Amino acid sequence: MSSEPSDARASTRAAASRPCHTGCTDSTCHGAPRDIVTTHLVDTTLFYSATSGGVRRYLLEKHSWMAARTSWRHTLLVPGPIDRVTRSGIIEFRSPRLRAGYRVPVHLAAYRHVLASLQPDLIEAADPYVVGWQAARVAEELGIPSVAFCHSDLIGLAGARLGRLAGRAASAYLRELYERFTCIMAPSQFVAERLRDAGIAPVTVQPLGVDAATFTPERRDRLLRSELALPPATRLLVFAGRLAPEKNLPELYELVERLGDPYHLLVIGGERRGRPARRVSMLKYEQEPAALAASMGGADLLVHAGRQETFGLVALEAMACGLPVVVYPGGALAELVDPIVGAVAARATPAAMAEAVSDLYARDPRAIGIAARLRVLQRHTWTATFSAQMRAYELLLGRHPTPITAALRRA
């Protein structure tokens, strides 16, 4: 394994050294000059692929928001199929692909070299695996603050799949990793408590958000039922996301079978379009947020059978589209949902969720959807999320944060 970066990586570093305030690394960009840039934040993670979910959305939304609202430079350094720099400031580092769809860098010295050459003032790592370790090491070598954003429930997954001893081993592993970071962030109280129970503290709860201008009832596909060859009176449930084992998709299939006619389940996230079961339609994974909002908004409500979700961004996206949400108890989803915006099933079983869905239809689903949209606008916009996060960054950098932060531009 070579520890020296390739010529392609050398050109990547050279391109990365020519930023404008928007984070664009293209040499033809005519953005603001380098001298107005106040701070450089680098986000890095292996949780980034064409079919990844909430982490990728969070990073891209932050990238756009910081370019539009701040004078900070923001760079994403992520594994990719080749070494390249995109016009939007995303740097991809050639890495092999795993079966799960993610890519993992193997030339770690070269990866650290690229990260250090970006000359960050602050590094945030969004995974607790190989990239997280490299980010912590580079931050320590550069003498700069570092943030570990815990988007995954490694402790819970290890315990559920491999037993209690595996859960304890995962706790010890995370303690060793996270003690190398200046700040630990978690997207929910569920994750924060999991980390605190493992002896990892302090933990800052930093909820995620949603683009309420993209995910809006106005985008709903009013022809969705006819496109799916369903009767107009169909009670259409929807789930959207990666079809990973922890999403418990078979339990949603059982749910819709228990409910019977006129219920139907739409799953957005498959490899191809089809009808995997009599009461289930499948659409391909949708990478484009506006198209996802159209399909999701054409349904009546979102159902989610995850028991260990660390946040549940798709629930907020559905709520922003004016959909009630029905979820299992446990995990972070239950922090987002209450009787005003949906329902939490009494137990984490398809039978209990079927009862919750039936009860919701007996109320006024449309009024509940309106309340769900209002909840998002009041509490869960990306501006609220990133404004709070910027204040936390300023404190890490030893600065006194202003009401929004001194970095925010006055539009």
Quick one: which of 369, 358, 226 has its CA closest to 301? 369
Q: At what angle do helices 108-117 and 130-142 cross, to 10 degrees?
A: 50
Summarised one tens digit per residue, pLDDT across range 270-326 is 888 999 999 999 999 888 999 999 999 999 999 999 998 999 999 999 999 999 999
Quick one: which of 187, 236, 212, 244 has its CA closest to 316? 212
- Tokens representing 155 are 């402790």
Per-residue pLDDT band at 361 (split at 50, 70, 90): very high
Q: What is the 3-state secondary structure (H, E, C) of the chain?
A: CCCCCCHHHHHHHHHHCCCCCCCCCCCCCCCCCHHHCCCEEEEECCCCCCCCCHHHHHHHHHHHHHHHHECCEEEEEEEECCCEECCCCEEEEECCECCCCCECCCCHHHHHHHHHHCCCCEEEECCCCHHHHHHHHHHHHHCCCEEEECCCCHHHHHHHHHCHHHHHHHHHHHHHHHCCCCEEEECCHHHHHHHHHCCCCCCEECCCCECCCCCCHHHCCCCHHHHCCCCCCCEEEEEECCCCHHHCHHHHHHHHHHHCCCEEEEEEEECCCEEEECCEEEEECCCCHHHHHHHHHCCCEEEECCCCCCCCHHHHHHHHCCCCEEECCCCCHHHHCCCCCEEECCCCCHHHHHHHHHHHHHCCHHHHHHHHHHHHHHHCEHHHHHHHHHHHHHHHCCCCCCCCCCCECCC
Choose the weakest-confidence range: 5-19, 265-279, 372-386: 5-19
What integer pLDDT is reported at residue 100 of this predicted model?
66
Quick one: which of 2, 244, 243, 24 has its CA closest to 105? 2
What integer pLDDT is reported at residue 330 of this predicted model?
86
Percent of the chain scored above 90 by pLDDT? 76
How many Cβ atoms from other residues are within 10 Å of residue 30's Cβ?
8
What integer pLDDT is reported at residue 402 of this predicted model?
52
Contact 296, 214 (CB under 8 A): no
What domains does the chain contain, in order, with CATH numbers? 8-209+382-396 (3.40.50.2000), 217-379 (3.40.50.2000)
Summarised one tens digit per residue, pLDDT across range 117-176 is 999 999 999 999 999 999 999 999 999 999 999 999 999 989 988 999 999 999 999 999
Per-residue pLDDT band at 403 (split at 50, 70, 90): very low
Per-residue pLDDT band at 7 (split at 50, 70, 90): very low
Per-residue pLDDT band at 25 (split at 50, 70, 90): very low
What integer pLDDT is reported at residue 49 of this predicted model?
75
How many Cβ atoms from other residues are within 10 Å of residue 26's Cβ?
16
Percent of the chain scored above 70 by pLDDT? 87
